[in-house]
Amino acid sequence: MTHPDFANIDACLFDAYGTLFDVHSAVAKEAAALGDKAQGVSATWRDKQLQYTWLRSLMGEHTDFWQVTGDALDYALASQGVDDAGLRQRLMDLYLTLDTYPEVPGALKRIKDSGRKTAILSNGEPRMLASAVDSAGIKDLLDDVITVEAVGIYKPDPRVYRLGTERSGAPAERICFVSSNAWDVHGAANFGFNCAWINRFGQQRERLPGAPKAEVRTLDEVAGLLGL
């Protein structure tokens, strides 16, 4: 049964990193090289990656997400006392081919087959997003891949979410926005999207403006909200 808040949806926009793609899968493939430092590197890499997007946006010092990802990895490795140029390069290369969460291809197909537009709306840099999408084999399940580089600032700036309306051709109230990142959900909801938060790991809700219309654990459940 369709969730009432998702009854009139023309387009579904998906965050990429942490939502469709498992951002910790790169370090997982180099776990043997990192040993007991793997978890710390992976967690710090992701934390700093996000922090640098927000701080650069506030500073008015935009650079693309590939540079931010490299800067964050350098911090993470240094924080764990790891100095290995070859390992750094392998981790960056792996970020171009991140694993999707298991249910992602099937759920995307259900949504696209329903006639709704599907698109990524991401902080990612165009080439790294293209690589991840191609590697995952989900290109044909997406109508568009929208990147913040068109506006030169990161989420949760409203200009990023506005890109979603412009590129999809759907008004905000007829867009379902999906993210595993709670701060991103609040930003998109505050803009006016109908948001579904994929809370994969049982996190607490943020205390921020805007709120998701639904909280689920997987992308399959988002398809269920749409009555699929």
Annotate 100-140 with DSSP letters as a single string: BPTTHHHHHHHHHHTT-EEEEEESS-HHHHHHHHHHHT-GG
CA 51 to chain centre: 14
- Token pair 């390069």 is found at 89
Percent helix / strand / coil, the chain, rounded to 5: 55, 15, 35
Q: Let me know if 4 is exposed, middle or buried by CB neighbors in 10 A (0-12, 13-18, 19+).
A: exposed
Question: What distances in angstroms separate CA 183 from CA 42, 114, 142, 211, one per listed residue?
Answer: 20, 28, 24, 10
Closest CA to 14 of 127, 97, 103: 103
Which residue in 10, 15, 64, 74 is the catalytic one?
15
Q: What is the dihedral sign for C-alpha 131, 134, 136, 141? A: positive
The reply to whether 83 belongs to the active site is no
Q: What is the DSSP letter of 176?
A: E
Three-state secondary structure call for residue 188: helix
Residues 194/214, Cβ–Cβ less than 8 Å: no
* Residues acting as catalytic residues: 15
